[in-house]
Amino acid sequence: MDDEKVLTRHLGAPGLTTVGGYEKVGGYQGLRKAIQMGPEAIVAEVKASGLRGRGGAAFPTGTKWGFLPKDVFPRYLCVNADESEPGCFKDRVLMEEFPHQLLEGVLIAAYALQVTHAFIYIRGEYRFQRELLERAAKEAYRAGYAGKGVLGTKWDCELIVHGGAGAYICGEETALLNSLEGRRGQPRLKPPFPAVKGLYGQPTVVNNVETLSNLPYIVTEGGARYAALGTEASPGTRLFCVSGHVERPGTFEVPMGKTTFRDLLELAGGVWRGRQFKAMQPGGGSMQVLGPQHLDVPLDFKAVAEAGSSLGAGALVVMDDSTCLVDVASRLVDFYRHESCGKCVPCREGTYFESELMHRLEAGIASRAELAELSDICANMEGRCFCPLGDTATWFVMSALRMFPEEFESHCGAGRCPVRAGSEVAA
């Protein structure tokens, strides 16, 4: 496809992980321009670009920045690089391939918000990527893009790469702040929101890696041009990670709104081994399942919401006709049980309850009454938990149960998984 790229426009250029290599393709020009523009103009440009958060909640970035109370300092910027959504690996690509593009974006945002400390919270499992970013940050310091008196101005900016240690929940922004403060990564009560009382009780903005990686382009090329890449409702381009039963899994940058799931599937080489498409999960492990009838839905926030799911963190997990959805659901629920922080009752006990029932169901020893129990438990969790983790732990199960009821029912009392048993016979 020959659409214009934003995040991956420099793909293939040599030495992108070094300051020199990045400067050769026009790197850090955005930061220089941003400093000339001044904070207010940057915020206006970001607002004009229509950029929305890429972490999952899709909140307009410019508006989020606008929530910071005026004249309260110090303020902090935190970069959410705790990418741990199942099926999602775009931030990893951005950090591995374009670390300086991210740092430039961070510095632009830091300048726009007039913060003096920018923290990049990177998940513990990304040890290699953390060291890579630390190296890149050191280079940026040396080149005068960070540290005391950035590019000869009076503005100081510390870049601190902070490694997590294995907790999915730290992707939730207040949990991330707690983790960054050296506490248990458990979400905080809102209000107060981080924009008012965040890190160390000061106004704080938390942005996703992909969100900030867009900033160099937006600043150099202008917000309007960025917005025009997508549609009015879903401006710009976006990285989508396609994985699961496809021929060529990978990350693809596509314009939003103008692309459909089918296009994306084709980019990834279609369903593997010549099998039939059965279901897909857009937006990563948290989101509701969609079926073949949704393949022509465009990658647009509203359209996907109307189809009953969400674009979430920009991942697409494709399942072919040999897939047992009960197995997939059980796998996801186990994940949530493992990652529940234990703070609130419905999530802590609910995910345990859910996963025990899913195990019984998957093993074919559950009764139909237990299936009803399962949806009842999910109903008692959804919207009742302290943070969205508990909600998302129910979404896949609920939607799969709605869309493929006969598959769940066929497991009840079957003694084993009928889907996989069937596919074994067929093979």
Partner 1 sequence: MVEADHTDALNPATLARIRQMRDLYPSPRSAVLPALWAIQDELAYLPAWSLEVVATELGLLAGDVEAVSSFYSMYFNHQPGRHQIQVCRNVSCGLRGSDELLRHLENWLGVEDGGTTTDGAFTLEGTVECLGACGGAPMMQVDRFSYENLNPERAEEVLTKIRNSEPRDLD
Partner 2 sequence: MADASTVAELVNISVDGRPVEVPPGTLVWDACEKAGIFVPVYCAHKKLEPVAVCRMCLVEVEGLPKLQPACATRVAPGMVVRTQTEQVRKFRDGNLEFLLLNHPLDCPVCDRGGECDLQDFTQRYGPGRARSSITEKVHFDKAVKLSDKIMLDQERCILCWRCVRYYEEITGEREIVLQERGVHTVVDSFERQPLQSQFQGNLPEICPVGALTHRQYRFRARPWDLRRTASVCSHCSYGCNIFVDAREEQIARYASNDNPEVDDSWLCDQGRYGFPELNRPERVINPEARVGGLRQAVSYQDAVARAAGALLRVRGDHGGTSVGVLGSPRMTNEEAFVLQWLAREVIATPHVDHRYEPLEGISPEQFRLGIAELEGCDAVVVIGDRPERLSPVLTLRLYKVANKLGRQILRVPETFSAAQVVKQLPAAGRIGIVAAQADRAAAMGLRAKAGSAGREAAVLTITEAVNSRGCQDLGLLPNVGPGYRSLEHSGLFGRQLLEAAVAGQIKALLVVGDGADFEAEGLFHEALAKVDVAVVVTAWQGVASRAATVLLPGRTIAEKAGTVTNTEGRVQRVRTAVEPKFTFPSDLRILGDLAAGLGSDLGVQALAAPVFELLAAAVPAYRGCQAGLRAHWEPGS
Q: Are 88 and 55 in contact (CB under 8 A)?
A: no
The residue range among 30-38, 147-155, 272-280, 341-349 that interacts with partner 2, by the rule CB under 8 A, is: 341-349
- The interface mask with partner 1, positions 343-372, x = CB under 8 A, is ------------------------------
Query: Per CB under 8 A, does 370 bind partner 2?
Result: yes
Q: Which of 180, 304 has the CB closer to partner 1?
A: 180
Rounded Cα gap, residues 114 and 277, in angstroms: 49
State the burial class of residue 165 (Cβ atoms within 10 Å of its Cβ: 0-12, 13-18, 19+): exposed
CA distance 282 to 289: 7
As a whole number of angstroms, the distance between CA 182 and CA 394 comes to 30
Binds partner 2 by CB under 8 A, chosen from 343, 371, 395, 396: 343
Q: φ, ψ for residue 68 (rounded to 5)?
A: -65, 130
Which residue in 109, 341, 397, 417 binds partner 2 (CB under 8 A)? Answer: 341
- DSSP notation for 68-126: SPTT--S-EEEEEE----TT--HHHHHHHH-HHHHHHHHHHHHHHHT-SEEEEEE-TT-
200 near partner 1, rule: CB under 8 A? yes
Cα 299-9-124 angle, rounded to 5 deg = 75
Q: Is 11 in the site for partner 1 (CB under 8 A)?
A: no
Which of 45, 253, 339, 354 forms a contact with partner 1 (CB under 8 A)? 339
- Decide which of partner 2, partner 1, none touches 281; Cβ closer than 5 to 8 Å per partner kind: partner 1
> What is the 8-class DSSP label of residue 243?
E
| Contact string (CB under 8 A) for partner 2, positions 130-169, x = contact | -------------------------------------x--
- Tokens 């600043």 — which residue? 219
Nearest to 307 by CA among 215, 402, 214: 402
Give the C-alpha distances (Å, rounded to integers) separating 344 from 126, 210, 218, 385, 388. 28, 30, 40, 6, 11
CA 174 to chain centre: 16
CA dihedral over 194, 200, 203, 208, signed as positive or negative: negative
189 binds, among partner 2, partner 1, none (CB under 5 to 8 A by kind): partner 2
Using rule CB under 8 A, residue 4 touches partner 1: no
Could you tell me the smallest distance in angstroms from the CB atom of residue 16 to partner 1? Answer: 19
Q: What are 124's two structure tokens? A: 């513990």
Is the CB of 163 or the CB of 216 nearer to partner 1? 163
Q: Which of 28, 45, 51, 91 binds partner 1 (CB under 8 A)?
A: 91
Residue 385 C-beta: closest distance to partner 2, Å: 7
**Residues at the interface with partner 1 (CB under 8 A):** 74, 83-89, 91-92, 117, 123-128, 131, 158, 160, 162-168, 179-186, 200, 241-245, 249-251, 281, 285, 315, 317, 319, 323, 327-328, 331-332, 334-335, 338-339, 341
**Residues at the interface with partner 2 (CB under 8 A):** 167, 184, 189, 337-346, 348-353, 356-357, 360, 366-367, 369-370, 373, 376-377, 379-380, 383-386
